Amino acid sequence: MTIREQTQKIQRETLSQYACLSDHSRGREYSQEECPIRTCFARDRDRIIHCKSFRRLMHKTQVFLSPEGDHYRTRLTHTLEVNQIAKTLAVALRLNEELTEAIALGHDLGHTPFGHAGERALRDVCPHGFRHSEQSVRVVEKIENDGRGLNLTWEVRNGIGCHSYSNPSPEGKAKTWEGQIVYFADKIAYLNHDIDDALRGEILQEEDIPWEIKYSLGRTKSQRITTLIKSIIDSSKTQVMMDDQAARAFDQLNSFMYEAVYRNPVAKSEEGKAIGVVKSLYEYYVQHPQEMPQEYRRIIETSDVPRAVCDYISGMSDRFAVTTYERLYVPRSWGY
């Protein structure tokens, strides 16, 4: 037996009946010879970690635009925290860790520069619309690897596309338990680390957090995350879920964060400028598509200019978007 086959045998013998076994995968869009060492999901995880879109996450906004300080979250650190929480759930529920990791690490590959402000800007101007979960799937299917994509398994692509199914989505809930725990891990991660960043940025004070949330979930980030994780582990008997008390407190925390942080005029003071940058770049490249890199000009041949421009801009890091905007629109000093 190869190492991969030994791993698959261990999975069959030890994982839950609700786990997605790697040797039961629906497969890839294009068939490939199996790796003798890694399972198909481990191979997907590695492809995501080594792709360009993953590296760019380190320079993409999570909540605070270009924050001063080394300890604020970026889209990459958010992804790593989602992965850690999702893996904790996968181990406890005896689900497939490799599939869980691949979905968690790839879930935000299609996110725009400037966080959700950039997402709203592209949704406003692009006739195809824009949702970052759908774009993440597009990245791994159509954009990475010079347009050939990463050729990931169906289960990983499904989990990535369904990680934010609270928004209207034709896919709805992920078909695997691994995909569903990433959905919860994403929200557990961002609500709690955004509190941490908001406290650091003095957008929030500890006493601002409602007493009911502290009573139900805990006073610290660690306590809240532990409470929510334990609730999912204890409640997920035939479906992935939280108990009623934790779910109510979680919804209350979500509502509180939207009012106190996500719509806070201080925290969002630069969002108008960010939206202006994204929309201006979109307008420019729709009129000058020949100035985009070859890998995006190639998209025009199979789709259209707006689709190619949307793909190009959504892949930009914050600083590259700002630098490009300055090059195109800000006058430079004349010298001779």
The residue ranking higher by pLDDT, 67 or 159, is: 159
From CA 134, how far away is CA 110, in angstroms rounded?
Answer: 8
138 has a pLDDT exceeding 90: yes
305 has a pLDDT exceeding 90: yes
Confidence of residue 61 (pLDDT cuts 50, 70, 90): confident
pLDDT (0 to 100) of residue 73 = 85
Are 289 and 308 in contact by the 8 Å Cβ rule? The answer is: yes
Are 280 and 325 in contact by the 8 Å Cβ rule? The answer is: yes
What is the model's pTM?
A: 0.95
Span 178-203, average pLDDT? 94
Exposure of 121 in the CB half-sphere (CA atoms within 13 A): 25
* Non-local CB neighbours of 255 within 8 Å, separated by 6+ positions: none
**Nearest alpha carbon to residue 143 among 75, 54, 80, 274:** 54
In the numeric block, the tokens 């989602």 are attached to 82
pLDDT (0 to 100) of residue 315 = 97
Residues 208-266 pLDDT 10s: 999 999 999 999 999 999 999 999 999 999 999 999 999 999 999 999 999 999 888 88
24 has a pLDDT exceeding 80: yes
User: What percent of the chain clears pLDDT 70, i.e. is strictly above it?
Assistant: 95
What are the respective helix, strand and coil percentages of the chain, to the nearest 5?
65, 0, 35
Residues 71-117 pLDDT 10s: 688 999 999 999 999 999 999 999 999 999 999 999 999 999 999 99
Question: What does each C-alpha distance from 320 to 114, 135, 160, 312 come to in angstroms?
Answer: 11, 19, 25, 11
Both tokens assigned to 126: 């692009």
Span 275-282, average pLDDT? 97
From CA 336, how far away is CA 321, in angstroms rounded?
Answer: 28
334 has a pLDDT exceeding 60: yes
Are 185 and 85 in contact by the 8 Å Cβ rule? The answer is: yes
pLDDT (0 to 100) of residue 336 = 59
**Nearest alpha carbon to residue 110 among 27, 48, 194, 43:** 48
Confidence of residue 168 (pLDDT cuts 50, 70, 90): very low
Exposure of 260 in the CB half-sphere (CA atoms within 13 A): 22
Q: Which CATH class is domain 39-336?
A: mainly alpha
Confidence of residue 68 (pLDDT cuts 50, 70, 90): low
